[in-house]
Amino acid sequence: MRENEIRTLAVCVFSNNGSILVAEGYDYVKNEYFYRPVGGGIDHGEKSEDAVVREVKEELGTSVKGVTYLGTIENIFTFNGKKGHEIVQVYDAAFTDPAYYDKESFEGVESNGEMFKLLWISIEEMKKRKLNVVPEDLVNLF
């Protein structure tokens, strides 16, 4: 992301039995883990719903159904010592392959080939702020 740029993102929470799916990340400057829904940047001319479907296919290698818009979050944050600003379109959806719901955790792959861990966290844990879930205002959509 370029400096002074507002990035537009689309993410999906995959809510299931009181939990959501998040990817684990790490901020090396803060020396702490954070957790964020699956997704990524919206391409120019692409609808945010289509971006969610594309990102899930790219990162997890699977497809989704029942994509539902939950809300928009403006997120101003610091990551690895750099200020960031995002407009995040948040969606819910279901995996077409139900086996994903039986996995406690699994791996995804970034566009640069880097692997990342995905896990289910309870919405209650998120509401109690027991984990560093970002964007922070995601909790307000539940």
CB 109: neighbour CB atoms within 10 A?
13
Q: What is the pLDDT of residues 127-140, one digit of tens each?
A: 888 889 999 999 99
Q: Give backbone dihedrals phi and psi of 56, rounded to 5 degrees, phi first.
A: -65, -40
* Predicted local distance difference test score (pLDDT) of residue 130: 81
Q: What is the pLDDT of residues 98-136, one digit of tens each?
A: 999 999 999 999 888 899 999 999 999 898 888 899 999
pLDDT over threshold 80, residue 32: yes
Q: What does the mean pLDDT of the chain come to?
A: 94
* Predicted local distance difference test score (pLDDT) of residue 2: 63
* C-alpha to C-alpha distance for 137 and 57, rounded to whole angstroms: 26
Four-way CATH pick for 7-141: 3.20.20.70, 3.90.79.10, 3.40.50.300, 3.30.360.10 = 3.90.79.10
pLDDT over threshold 70, residue 1: no
* Predicted local distance difference test score (pLDDT) of residue 42: 98
For the record, the structure tokens of 110 come out as 């970034």
Q: What is the pLDDT of residues 50-97, one digit of tens each?
A: 999 999 999 999 999 999 999 999 999 999 989 999 999 999 999 999
- Domain ranges in the chain are 7-141
From first CA to last CA, the distance across the chain in angstroms is 29
SS3 content of the chain, % helix, strand, coil (to 5): 20, 50, 30
pTM of the model: 0.93
* Predicted local distance difference test score (pLDDT) of residue 128: 87
Q: In Å, what is the CA distance from 20 to each residue of 24, 81, 131? A: 13, 28, 13
* C-alpha to C-alpha distance for 25 and 65, rounded to whole angstroms: 26
